[in-house]
Amino acid sequence: MALGKETERSLIQKYVTIFLVVSGYWVVSILTVFINKTLLSDISLDAPMFIALYQTFITAAICFVKKGLARVFPQHFSFPETSVWDAQTIKTILPVSLMFTMMIAMNNLCLKYVSVAFYYIGRSLTTIFNVAFTFVILGERTSKQCLFFCGVIIFGFYLGVDQESLSGSLSISGTIFGVLASLSLSLYSIFTKKVLTKVDNQVWALSYYNNIYATILFIPLMLFNNEFFVLADYSGLSQTYFWFIMTVGGVCGFAIGFFTSLQIKYTSALTHNISGTAKACAQTVLATYWYQEAKSALWWCSNFIVLLGSMGYARVKQLDMEKKHKETMMYQRV
pLDDT tens track for 260-290: 777 877 777 667 767 776 787 788 888 998 8
- Give the separation between CA 157 and CA 163, rounded to whole angstroms: 10
> 120: pLDDT confidence band, cut at 50, 70 and 90?
confident
- Give the separation between CA 216 and CA 58, rounded to whole angstroms: 13
Number of Cβ atoms within 10 Å of the Cβ of 136: 10
**pLDDT higher than threshold 60 for residue 153:** yes
Task: Please tell me the predicted confidence (pLDDT) of residue 320.
Answer: 74
Task: Please tell me the predicted confidence (pLDDT) of residue 192.
Answer: 85
- Could you give the angle at which helices 2-37 and 269-290 cross, rounded to 10 degrees? 40
CA 262 to the chain's CA centroid: 11
Return the sign of the alpha-carbon dihedral for residues 156, 190, 112, 283: positive
Cβ atoms of residues 56 and 152 within 8 Å: no
Nearest to 218 by CA among 318, 310, 74, 107: 107
- Give the separation between CA 212 and CA 6, rounded to whole angstroms: 43
Contacts of 86 (CB under 8 A, 6+ apart): none
> 4: pLDDT confidence band, cut at 50, 70 and 90?
low
Contacts of 84 (CB under 8 A, 6+ apart): 208, 209, 212
- Give the percent of the chain with pLDDT over 70: 93
Task: Please tell me the predicted confidence (pLDDT) of residue 269.
Answer: 62
- Give the separation between CA 8 and CA 15, rounded to whole angstroms: 11
Q: What is the pTM of this model?
A: 0.82
Among 71-75, 115-119, 271-275, 312-316, the range scoring the smallest mean pLDDT is 271-275
Q: For residue 55, how many C-alpha atoms fall within 13 Å in the half-sphere facing its CB?
A: 29
Comparing 95 with 254, which gets the higher pLDDT? 95
% helix, strand, coil for the chain, step of 5: 85, 0, 15
Among 70-74, 224-228, 283-287, 321-325, the range scoring the smallest mean pLDDT is 321-325
Number of Cβ atoms within 10 Å of the Cβ of 32: 22
Average pLDDT over residues 306-330: 76
Cβ atoms of residues 59 and 213 within 8 Å: no
- Considering just the CA atoms, what is the radius of gyration of the chain in Å? 21
Nearest to 109 by CA among 46, 53, 169: 46
φ/ψ of residue 67, rounded to 5: -65, -40
